[in-house]
Structure 1
Amino acid sequence: MTSVTPSDPAGAVGDRIKVWFRFVPREGWLPYDTEGLWATRLSADTARVTNIPFLQNGVAEGDIMRFETDADGLHWSKERVEASGNCTIRVLPVPSGPLGPSAHAVHERLSPFGLGGEVFSEDLPLVAFTVPADADLAGIKALLHRGREDGWWHFETGCVTDAWHAA
């Protein structure tokens, strides 16, 4: 990663940067009010998100964000410039359920759809998935609902599209 220096305050296109998001923490959930997402700089004030948000809603991997850089060199999200068409879903296995607290078991259940996911931590096996725009949205939704009904997991949608709603 190329760092931003005083002689090049904007950084170079293609640099990997972290874009920060501010939000109000949800009651009964993780006590964070910011989340940093890796992104690839596209211009002096835009970047494409390259990882999956665990906390920030309304953003998916591949989205292009406009940001402002503060005096400390942190890049703060201002708005989404272009949606990728991808969706973000988060799945938390029920510790006492048939899958136990296993992020691996969640991955296995969703692997037929080819979804890539990241795990929050071993202590909190929350799995965040990117659902590509061309995925089998109806099949994924059906499995998510069945898993919830069968006590495998809880899930939430962090960012969805009209196609997701229609599936």
Structure 2
Amino acid sequence: MTPSEPVAAETNRIKVWFRFVPREGWLPYDTEGLWATRLSADTARVENIPFLQNGVAEGEIVRFVTDADGLHWSTERVEASGNCTIRVLPVPSGPLGRSARAVHERLSPFGLGGEVFSEEFPLVAFTVPADADLAGIKALLVRGREEGWWHFEVGCVTDAWRDA
């Protein structure tokens, strides 16, 4: 199969792995696997939200290499999706407690879809679509941080996010 040759539908769902340097005081991982739809022999579209990997968002197209064990390792982003990735961790002693559900409820007016890392570690990762109310989301994130609801970080941004 050549890199530009399309692949059969039954083999198009793969996991693409990313390597990164673990952050001190954060989760002790140095890789993250994201589900993706294979587009060619060496490209795939990311289909879920990264909890740990920065610089990539759901919907982006990445290039990968396959190692001897059959693992697909990302080598570069080929095409940006226009989406952003934000991660929100409720403050256990704050008004939301450890409730990922409460985080979802606060951000639900913006129509954001999110995934929860685990019940023990209620980090919620959200995809922020390019056409979302970026200024409104940013304002709510800052308000939530200031009022002790959560900590947040932005894992992947666009110029539109920066300018909002």
Normalising to structure 1: TM-score of the pair? 0.93
Q: Identity over the aligned pairs, expressed in percent?
A: 87
Which residue is equivalent to 2:137?
140
Aligned-pair distance for 1:146?
A: 0.1
Q: Is residue 2:153 matched to residue 1:156?
A: yes
Which residue is equivalent to 1:122?
119
RMSD of equivalent CA atoms = 1.2
Aligned-pair distance for 1:11?
A: 9.3
Q: Is residue 2:55 matched to residue 1:43?
A: no
Aligned-pair distance for 1:17?
A: 0.1
Partner Cα distance (1:155, 1:144) in 2: 7
Aligned-pair distance for 1:106?
A: 0.1
Which residue is equivalent to 2:93?
96
Partner Cα distance (1:61, 1:123) in 2: 24
- Deviations along 1:82-141, whole A, 9 cap, x unmatched? 000000000000000000000000000000000000000000000000000000000000
**Off by >6 Å, runs of 4+ in structure 1:** none
Long gaps (5+) in structure 2: none
| Count of residue correspondences | 158
Which residue is equivalent to 2:7?
12
Q: What secondary structure is seen at the aligned counterpart in 2 of 1:92?
A: strand
- Letter of the 2:132 partner, please give it: A
Long gaps (5+) in structure 1: 1-9
Cα 1:26/1:85, change in 2 over 3 Å: same
Aligned-pair distance for 1:12?
A: 3.0
